[in-house]
Structure 1
Amino acid sequence: MSYFMYDVMGGTVDKPDPETMRRVLDGLAEADDEHPDVSLNHESGWCLSAFHGGLLVWENPDDDSPAPGEMHEVAHQEILRLFGLLAAGDIASVEALPWQNRTCPRRLGG
C-alpha cells in the first residue's frame, strides 16, 4: 500500500514509520496561518489532516460523494493511532468513527 505525509511546511515524507509520523505530528508546534496542518494521505484518496489544538479532518478529495468529517480536541496519541490505521489501509475502521459534518471547505495539506 502506498501512503505519504505532508509535514507542516508542505514537505512530503513517503511511507513514514510510526516514529516519523510522531515527529511530523510534533511539527504542528510550528504551525501558522499559512501552514496550519500535517496530513497522512493514502493511495485510496483518503486523507487525515491534523491541526494544532486537536482538530482532525477526514476526507477524500478525489471523491465528491462522501462529505468530509471532523473531530475536535483529538489527543496526539489517538491521531497517531488513526494515522497508523489509514497507512495500513484500514479505511473502514477510520470511517466508522463518530465524524461530525465538516461545515466549511479547506485547503488540503501542503
Structure 2
Amino acid sequence: MSYFMYDVMGMTVDEPDTETMRRVLDGLAEADDEHPDVSLSHESGWCLSAFTSGLLVWENTADDSVVPGEMREASREEVLRLFGPLAAGNITAIEELPWQR
C-alpha cells in the first residue's frame, strides 16, 4: 500500500481513486467536534488533512522535526488537486506551496 485515506469516522480507505477521494471529502458534511477532518497519507509519512472550515494541514506524521504547514480557505477542488500528487508520491509539488508554518 502506497497511500490511504481516513474518512470522517476514521475508517481506512486503501489507495482510493479520484471518485472515492471525492466521496470521502463529501463525508466532511457529517463532521463534528470529535471527527473534524478527512486525510490522505502517503507511505512516506506525509499527510494532508482537510477540515470543513477550509483548513488544510500538511504534515509528516513520521518525522516530528518537520513543522506542519497550514493553508486556510482551501476549496474542495484545491484539496482534490493536491491529493493527486500526494497519492503519486510527488511530495515536492506539495511542499513547494506557500504553507503557513
Q: With the length of structure 2 as denominator, give the TM-score of the two structures.
A: 0.97
Query: In the alignment, which residue of structure 2 is the partner of 1:14?
Result: 14
Gaps of 5+ in 1: 102-110
Q: What displacement does 1:61 show?
A: 1.6
Amino acid corresponding to residue 29 of structure 1 in structure 2:
A
Measure the CA separation in 2 of the matches of 1:71 and 1:41.
17
Per-residue CA deviation, residues 21-76 of structure 1 (Å, 9 max, x unaligned), is: 00000100000000000000000000000000210000012102210000000010
1:71 aligns with 2:47: no
Measure the CA separation in 1 of the matches of 2:70 and 2:26.
20
Query: In the alignment, which residue of structure 1 is the partner of 2:53?
Result: 53
SS of the aligned residue for 1:67 comes to: coil
User: % of aligned pairs identical?
Assistant: 77
Amino acid corresponding to residue 5 of structure 1 in structure 2:
M
Amino acid corresponding to residue 42 of structure 1 in structure 2:
H
Q: What displacement does 1:82 show?
A: 0.4
Measure the CA separation in 2 of the matches of 1:29 and 1:67.
28
The list of structure 1 runs, each at least 4 consecutive aligned residues, that deviate by more than 6 angstroms after superposition, is none
Gaps of 5+ in 2: none
Count of residue pairs brought into register by the alignment: 101
SS of the aligned residue for 2:83 comes to: helix
1:95 aligns with 2:95: yes
Q: With the length of structure 1 as denominator, give the TM-score of the two structures.
A: 0.90
